Structures are given as C-alpha cells and as structure tokens.
Amino acid sequence: MTRQHSGVDERDFGLESMASCFQGLIPATLFTCSRDGTPNAAILSHVDYVDSTHVALSFQFFNKSRRNIAENPHALVRLLDPDTSQGWRLRLRYIRSETSGPVFERMALRIEAIASYSGLKGIFKLLAADIYEVLSVEKAEDESARSAAAAGRRPAAADAVFTMKALQNLSDRIHRATSLEGLLDSILEGLEESFGFGHSMILLPSDEEGVFVTIASRGYPENGVGAEVRLGEGIIGLVAEARKPIRIAGLIRQLLYAYAVHKRAQEAGMCPPDRQIPLPGLPNPESQLGVPLLVRNELVGVLCIESEMPYRFHEEDKTTIELLGSYLAIAVQNMLLQERFEAMPEGTATPPGQKGAAATVTRPASPRREVAYYTRDECILVDGEYLIRSLPANILWKLLRRRDAEGRVEFTNRELRLDRSLNLPEWKDNLETRLLLLRRRLEQKCSDIRIVPRGRGRFALELGCSVTLVERP
C-alpha cells in the first residue's frame, strides 16, 4: 500500500486488522468529487472488507456519490473503530462494480434481510457492490483512540469464539443425544455453553412448501415452537432461500436507517404501510447469524443465533460457521433417519384396536376443554385458541378421535405412516419432526394434553382433562 499524504501516521496497516471498522456499527462518510470539481460528502451505512487492499461500498441508489465515482474514481472514506473510537481515513480508487459473486451476494443478503424486516423488499436492495482499491490508510489526527483500559470493551481483534475446543464440546454433546428432541436441545445448549450464544432457534421445513417452522429454541421467554417463517422473510427466510449464512452486526442502527428509507418510500407511495415482519426472538437484537443446515445441497433446516452485542459474529468465523452448519445438518438428518428406522419394526407397539396401559385415565375433577378441528384450514383450536395446523393438526385430531372412540392411549409411528388419510409422503415424511412439533406446541399451549414417548416408535396420548371434540368446516 503506498502512502501519498504527509503529516499523518501512515504506518503499514493491513485492512484485515481493522475488522471492527467494517461491521457497520457506526456510519462512515464517503467523500467524492465530480468532474467539474464539486466535492460531495455522504453518510454510508456500511464499508465492506474485501481483502487486505480492497473494500466494497454498497450501490443502492443512483445518488450523487455514484455519479461522481463514474466521472472521477478517487474517493475518501472516513471510518471509526467502534472499539477504540480511533478515526481513520481510507483513500480509495474505484476499480469495478460487481453484480454477482461472493462479495455481492454477501452484501446483498445482508441488505435484503434488513429490507425484509422493514417492509422494503424490492426497494431497499443492492444494485452493485462497488469495489475500491485502498491506496492509503491514515489515522485521523483529531480522533484519537481511547486507551484500552478506558474503553473497557473488547479489543479490536475478534475474540476466538469458534475454537476447536468449543467445537469439540458441541460435538460431544451431539454424539450423546439419543432422540431428535434431545439432539436439537443439545445443539442449542451446546451453543450457549461452549460458544456463549444464549439466544438461538432451529427451524425445520414444514409440510407447506417454502415454509419453515420453529422446532426448538433457547433463551427466550416464549419458546416460539410452531412459529413459521416463509422463504425470503427476515434473516431466517433469506438464509433458507439463499442457502448461505447471513451475519448482521449493528442491526438496530441498520434498521433505523432502513426505517428512514421506508418512511420516505411510503410517503412516495412506493410501499404499502403494513408489510413489516416482526423480528424473531429478542426484542432488540444487535446482531444475528443465520446458518443454513445443508447436507449435499438439501436444506435440512436453519439455525438462527441472536445476540444483544452489536457485533458478536465475525467475518473470520464464516468458514467455521459453514462447517458447523454442515455438521449440525448431518446430525439432524441422521437422527431423523434413525428415528424413522427405529419406528419401523413391528411387534413392540400396542396393536391397533387394543387399549394401551390405562395409566392415563382422565381425572374426575379435571377441567373440560373443547378441541375444535377446522376441516377446511386443517387447524386445531383449543378453547378457541389456536394450537396447530396442517399435518401435526391432522395427527392430533386422529389420535384424539381414536382415543375417544376406541379408548386407546398408545400409538405407534408406524400406524400413522400407514394411515393413508394423513397423506404422508412415501419418502422423507418427517413424521418424527411433526410429532416433536406437536408435542412441544401442546407443552406450550395446552399442557393438559400430552404426547409422551414410550420407547422406539411408540408414544402415548395422555389427557389431564376431559375433552370435547368438535369438527367444524
């Protein structure tokens, strides 16, 4: 890197050591100049690190800065290190605009995620990633760093979060899991205990094409099991759509920026007023990481981790995160296959038509609940409150009806698989996932009705209440 300006600290300074400056936590300022010599200054939401001598700036609007760059490739960016408050000047020369490739895709996904949260999909989007060569890096003389002690925050270098030891700990937990439920919980527990990620959730594909459903979560007041996300919605939907990890730091500030765009776009009649999608999980997450769980390009699910720290996830963690996603995906898929396989043998379950153990007799003084099944929507409401829909609803309805008609309390996964009225696909029916989802929704919303595992491929339907079954169109 050459140093062209005198009178400043112009040490050789690799951009890779300035990672915290590129998290988008504090806006940067871009200075450009038109061909006729008129300077321009504009606030930038993000400067992206490309490599040790290049950065990328997002091109979202045809603004004056962009027009100037087309005329005159010289630019200056003023950046701030959020850890130390040291100001920096990066002297840049525009090289090219990219509309595809890894840099563009990474920037576009982050912007799309913000847009999705703000109801701005299609308006707030990346047109190109403008690549600049960094000609020099200079300290701002008037913006000196705080001492590390005064800062009281993390040093500029990223903490080593994804260490081999932490990965090994997580791996050990995963190997100990004996059921899908245990596996999912151990993944989320492991993420907290080994990596310090206390807020996380796993979503698996639902019965409906392009819809993902929360199957496990950790660290939230409500477990949110059953909450659905569609492809392209928010960070989770975008991860599922792109099948790539998305990492957002300084989320609140970026959302504020997007809301400013949204307000102007709404005033200009460019977007409807009510398209905002509520943020999942934490009320005010500062950083989010979405990881696709991929096995041989098949999307098994999505892992979403949130943090109240502005930048918890680092660029240098990307490779490890992808690796972790693959590992978790294999573990989840293997467990699904294992549970399906274990549910196959006959002879261990209570045969259809025979009453199971009568350990779960309705107590005389138990409350009465109305369970209503809506045939058109294939959904179940308990005492007027939504419980579940689609295949898990059909399964519960069938179990309740049989229990009511035949007095049965024990059932097998196999008999559900053979039940043609449930319309399970022949291959990869995800029955075990649906049963787990159903069980957790019941735990959350109606603990008087319980699905209790009873060994390999068997479970009981236990009632702590009297149930009135009502079928409605």
Residues that bind other proteins (CB under 8 A): 7, 26-27, 29, 31-33, 35, 37-43, 45, 61, 63-64, 72, 74-76, 78, 85, 87, 89, 91, 140-146, 150-151, 252-253, 256-257, 259-265, 268, 270, 310
C-alpha 220/C-alpha 146 separation (Å) is: 35
- Of 196, 188, 186, nearest to 165 by C-alpha is 196
**Of 284 and 354, which has the nearer Cβ to other proteins?**
284
Our measurement of the distance from residue 310's CA atom to the centroid of its chain's CA atoms, rounded to an integer in Å, reads 16
The nearest distance, CB 92 to other proteins, in angstroms, is: 9
The nearest distance, CB 116 to other proteins, in angstroms, is: 16
The nearest distance, CB 199 to other proteins, in angstroms, is: 18
The nearest distance, CB 16 to other proteins, in angstroms, is: 24
**Of 261 and 305, which has the nearer Cβ to other proteins?**
261
C-alpha 57/C-alpha 42 separation (Å) is: 12
The nearest distance, CB 96 to other proteins, in angstroms, is: 20
* DSSP per residue, 409-421: -EEEHHHHHH-GG
**Of 191 and 251, which has the nearer Cβ to other proteins?**
251
123 neighbors 115 (Cβ within 8 angstroms): yes
| Identity of residue 8 | V
The nearest distance, CB 149 to other proteins, in angstroms, is: 12
**Of 7 and 221, which has the nearer Cβ to other proteins?**
7
| Identity of residue 149 | A
Token output for 431: 């029955």
**Of 116 and 433, which has the nearer Cβ to other proteins?**
116
C-alpha 343/C-alpha 432 separation (Å) is: 9
**Of 259 and 327, which has the nearer Cβ to other proteins?**
259
**Of 77 and 170, which has the nearer Cβ to other proteins?**
77
The nearest distance, CB 270 to other proteins, in angstroms, is: 6
Token output for 92: 């840049």
* DSSP per residue, 233-249: SHHHHHHHHHTS-EEES
Token output for 179: 């059921």
- The beta strand positions in 378-465, using DSSP E, are 379-382, 385-389, 410-412, 449-453, 458-463
